[in-house]
């Protein structure tokens, strides 16, 4: 993975539409040097798995897209 934002000293990096394997790789690569936020592909079924990856924030469009997380 190539995270140019780490070199730029980004505070938050958005992991958008990544599968669990990619998210886990990103968490291992970043190693708490930035806050990681997951967005996209978030469902009620994978919410627990996402929360166990080590990311800091999980976002969902459920507020403006009813039915996506339920």
CA–CA distance from 33 to each of 6, 7, 9, 29, 55 (Å)? Answer: 7, 10, 8, 9, 12
pLDDT > 60? residue 69:
no
Determine contact, residues 36/63, Cβ cutoff 8 Å.
no
Put simply, whether the predicted model's pTM sits higher than 0.85 gets the answer no
What's residue 2's pLDDT? Answer: 62
Domains of the chain: 4-59 (3.20.20.70)
pLDDT tens sequence across 5-64: 667 788 899 999 999 999 999 999 998 889 999 999 898 889 999 999 999 999 987 656
């Amino acid at each position: 993975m190539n995270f140019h934002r780490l070199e730029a000293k980004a505070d938050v990096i958005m992991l958008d539409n990544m599968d669990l394997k990619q998210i886990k790789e990103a968490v291992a690569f970043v190693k708490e040097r930035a806050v990681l936020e997951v967005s996209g592909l978030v469902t009620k079924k994978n919410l627990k798995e996402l929360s166990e990856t080590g990311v800091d924030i999980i976002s969902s469009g459920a507020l403006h897209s009813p039915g996506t997380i339920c």
